[in-house]
Every structure is written in structure tokens, then in C-alpha cells.
Amino acid sequence: MALKALIFDVDGTLANTERDGHLLAFNLAFKELNLDWHWNNELYHKLLDIAGGKLRIKHYIKNYHSDFECDNIDIFAKNTHALKTKIYVDLVGAGKIPLRTGVARLLDEARAAGLRLAIATTTTEANVTALIANTLGRDALDWFEVIGAGDCVAKLKPAGDIYTYVLQKMQLNSSECLAFEDSNNGIKSATEAGIKCVISVNEYTNSHNFDGAIVVLNNLGEPNQPFTLIAGADCQPNYVNVDYLKRLYAKYC
Ligand code: XBP
Ligand code: MG
């Protein structure tokens, strides 16, 4: 088998979208709906264990506002989440969320090397489109053969459904791919689908369990900004490029 495709998570991996994007959008939506709810960063750190904005809202109501009354909690969560998504897309459209270190470079290099690209994320597809279009240009959406996002599968991460969906669409074996993730939910999902992970941590996930990852890094690095190897295989160069990935793949996949 050979390395044929790179599959990227979005939130926390392609970009640090949570604090200045999703969290801000949730709170602006609550305010617009005249709800006296405010998620601070400490609470959001906990709520992020629940993948998926709609489920996160329902989890919050059940655990923090059990007295909250509405006709139908599913419809309420869906409508609130739709408003949050609109706000988030506007935030991303205003250029508020940059790509993480090394991401744009690696995507360019991977394409030049003929590696196939895809996305496997819990977030809503509109969020993915906005992020890619506003950081890499709308044409960059075509770089990804499959954008597996949000509700296109029955079970969200940590279930493996979204990665399995992407593999099926690409007609690839899990052993022909590497996944790029940032969280425990993410590595569980990729691992359930049989895909080995390259992890880049962030403020919300740096204490997560990444057992089974090939490497855990602080970010993907740049030639003049080497990554910090937190755990896993020591390999050169000390920034993630295609040669680095092919060496990791040859040794550990
Ligand atoms: C992270 C998530 C998402 C985002 C919010 O997704 O769990 O729910 O926090 O986006 P991933 P939505 O790391 O898989 O990209 O509100 O659209 O769910
Ligand atoms: Mg993520």
C-alpha cells in the first residue's frame, strides 16, 4: 500500500476556530435570542467534549438549564444553531479566523505531489466553505475531493462514521490515508475508521489522550518555524511536509 490521501479535520486542525469563532458565535446568537446564557471559555472547554453544535446546545440545556421550557427542544436547538452558524459564517467572512501554521503550505505541497485531499469534520458544511473560501480562495474548495461535514452521517465524532464516509466516497482503504486531527474525539473517530493520525494540539486539546497517534505536535511547522514534537515518532524534517509524511507512513502505517 502507498500513501494516497490526506484527510483533514477542520476545527482546531485547519484553523483555531473555536475561541474567536464558534464560541463568539454561540454567545452572539444567545444574545440575539434574548437568552441570558453566556458560555465563558472555561465552560466551553467542557462543552467541546460534545461534538456538534446542536447536540452541544441540548447538552447545555439538560445540564445547566434543566428548567428551560420550549415547545420542542430539537426544533429550538436547530433554530438556535442555524442562527449561530449564520453569525459564525459572517465572522469567518470578515477574515477573523486564519489557517494554522503550516496548513496552506502542506496543502500546496500535497497537491503538487499528487496526494488526494479530503475533509472529515463535525462542523456544519457552511462553516467549512466559509473558512476555505476566506483563507485560500473559493477555488480551493475544489482541492478537496470530498467534504464530509456535520449531519451527512448519522453519528458524529468520536464515532468513525465521518471518516468511513470519506473513505467510501474516495474509494480508498484506510491504510492508504493519513488523518490530521486535534482532539480526542477526532483521533477516536479516525482510529475507528482504521486511519492513523497526525495530531496538532491547541489550547482546548493539549491535555487530551492521543494514544495511537503517529505523532503529536504543537502545529505543522514551517521551514523557518520548526514544530515541537510532543509525542511519537521523531522524524526529519522538523516541519510537516510530504517527505516527512511519507517517512512516517513508511515506518508506522
Ligand atoms: C468541532 C466540533 C464542531 C464545532 C462547532 O468539529 O465539534 O461542533 O465545535 O461547529 P471538528 P458546529 O473538530 O470535527 O472540525 O456548531 O457547526 O457543530
Ligand atoms: Mg477538531
Report the pLDDT value the prediction gives residue 86, as an integer from 0 to 100: 98
Higher per-residue pLDDT: 235 or 144: 144
- 162 CB near ligand 1 (under 6 Å): no
- 22 CB near ligand 1 (under 6 Å): yes
Report the pLDDT value the prediction gives residue 144, as an integer from 0 to 100: 98
d(C-alpha 27, C-alpha 88), whole Å: 11
Give the cell for residue 58.
441540548
Q: What positions carry a catalytic annotation? A: 9, 11
Q: Which residues surround ligand 2, an ion (CB under 5 A)?
A: 9, 11-12, 182-183, 186
d(C-alpha 172, C-alpha 169), whole Å: 8
Pocket test residue of 122, 124, 129, 187 for ligand 1, highest count of atoms within 8 A of CB? 122
- 11 CB near ligand 1 (under 6 Å): yes
Report the pLDDT value the prediction gives residue 234, as an integer from 0 to 100: 86
Q: What percent of the chain has pLDDT over 90?
A: 97
Report the pLDDT value the prediction gives residue 96, as an integer from 0 to 100: 85
Mean pLDDT, range 207-214, rounded to an integer: 97
Is the pTM higher than 0.95? The answer reads yes
Tens-place pLDDT, residues 120-153:
999 999 999 999 999 999 999 999 999 999 999 9
| Of residues 223, 216, 219, the one with CA closest to residue 237 | 223
Q: Let me know: does 69 contact 75? Beta carbons within 8 Å.
A: no
At 186, the pLDDT band (50, 70, 90 cuts) reads: very high
Strands of the 144-149 sheet, one edge to the other = 144-149, 116-121, 5-8, 177-181, 196-200, 215-217, 229-232
Report the pLDDT value the prediction gives residue 181, as an integer from 0 to 100: 98
Tens-place pLDDT, residues 44-93:
999 999 999 999 999 999 999 999 999 999 999 999 999 999 999 999 99
Q: Which residue has the cell 492513523?
A: 196
Residue 235 pLDDT exceeds 90:
no
Report the pLDDT value the prediction gives residue 233, as an integer from 0 to 100: 86
Residue 205 pLDDT exceeds 90:
yes
Q: What percent of the chain has pLDDT over 70?
A: 100
Tens-place pLDDT, residues 12-24:
999 999 999 999 9
Residue 3 pLDDT exceeds 90:
yes
